Homo-oligomer: A and B are copies of this chain.
Amino acid sequence: METRLKADSLSTRHQAPGTNTVAIIGLGLIGGSLALSLRQHGLAGRLIGVESNPAYARRALELGLVDDIAPDLAAAVAPAGLVVVAVPMDAMLTVLPQVLDLVTDRQIVIDVGSTKANLLAAVADHPRRRRFVAVHPMAGTEYSGPDAAVRGLFEGKTLVVCDAEASDPAAVAAVEALFRALPMRVLHLGAADHDLHTAYVSHISHLSSFALALTVLEKERRGEQRIFDLAGGGFASTVRLAKSAPATWVPIFRQNRENVLDVLDEHLHQLQALRALLAGEDYAGLSAALAHANEIRKIIP
């Protein structure tokens, strides 16, 4: 059984699409959404899940995210051509080496983690390092768990492939082809660059949103109904990310601590500069600063 399934695996070239067995370790927002995408595009024949939370495991089966739940990593990994590790960043540091311990030189392992430098350092000397392709699909929502899995989450988004030179070229090509079929754009970055840029374009947005939520909750302790009545689209859009799970985000901030602190300090500096302009009633200066901020239009049209 396992032998047959391995022969169907992704790592076998020229195979017919749709016959792969894929193991997904962690059936939350990202793992669950990837399961849906792979199924939708005929990129996974059989989907096997591993999930440490029994309620999530049951729910993933009910939702049809996976065909089976494996009792442990070994049972999930053995028949899989592709193993996706989609657990929070703290668990990732222990689960990824365990998965690499289990794979042969015909299987491929990917993570989908939000930070890379520490993780890649942790597996740098692993004998199966070249079977591992580090990727970060730049997509998500503020929700978590299998019920948060949504179709099309990755469509049109960017997949960052990190330190591809440390992976087997055929494995990289197979993984890129898989994600391009969702379809996603593929971008290559070194792990350190990845962590720096994601601090700017993702991690600081989350910290800012958490802090905005805390600000409003603090100032409006007795006025929740009032906020609810008044909160418009602008407020909802800036505090949306504050609904995100601490179990997801604390490990990300921890793994990317130096970059996040650096960007956060710049953000505090910018807020304090705007504050000084307003406090000093320098409205021409404030206007010039906001006009400069408007240049973000070039980036987010």
Contacts and interface: CB of A to CB of B under 8 A. Distances in A.
Q: Which secondary structure characterizes the binding site on chain A?
A: helix
A145 to B, nearest CB: 14
Interface in A213-229: 213-220, 223-224, 226-229
B197 A233 contact: no
A293 B212 CA distance: 8
Interface string A6-46: 00000000000000000000000000000000000000000
B292 A187 contact: no
Nearest to A265: B275
Interface residues of A, number: 93
A234 to B, nearest CB: 5
A223 B199 CA distance: 14
A221 B227 CA distance: 37
A300 interface: yes
A264 B202 CA distance: 22
Given A231-B201, A239-B300, A214 B270 contact: yes
25 contacts: A138-B232, A140-B234, A200-B216, A200-B227, A204-B216, A209-B238, A209-B293, A210-B274, A211-B274, A213-B294, A213-B295, A214-B273, A214-B292, A215-B263, A217-B295, A217-B296, A219-B263, A224-B299, A237-B238, A237-B240, A242-B294, A243-B297, A257-B278, A264-B274, A268-B268
Contacts of A200: 215-216, 219-220, 227
Interface of A: 138-142, 157-158, 160, 185, 187, 197-198, 200-202, 204-220, 223-224, 226-247, 249-250, 253-254, 257, 260-261, 263-268, 270-275, 278-279, 281, 283, 286-287, 289-300
A268 B212 CA distance: 9
Nearest to A230: B201
A270 B296 CA distance: 25
Contacts of A158: 229-230, 232
Contacts of A216: 200-201, 204, 296, 299
A240 to B, nearest CB: 6
Contacts of A207: 271, 274
**A264, A279, A300, most chain B CB atoms within 10 A:** A300
A144 B226 CA distance: 27
B204 A215 contact: yes
Contacts of A253: 278, 286
A86 B231 CA distance: 21
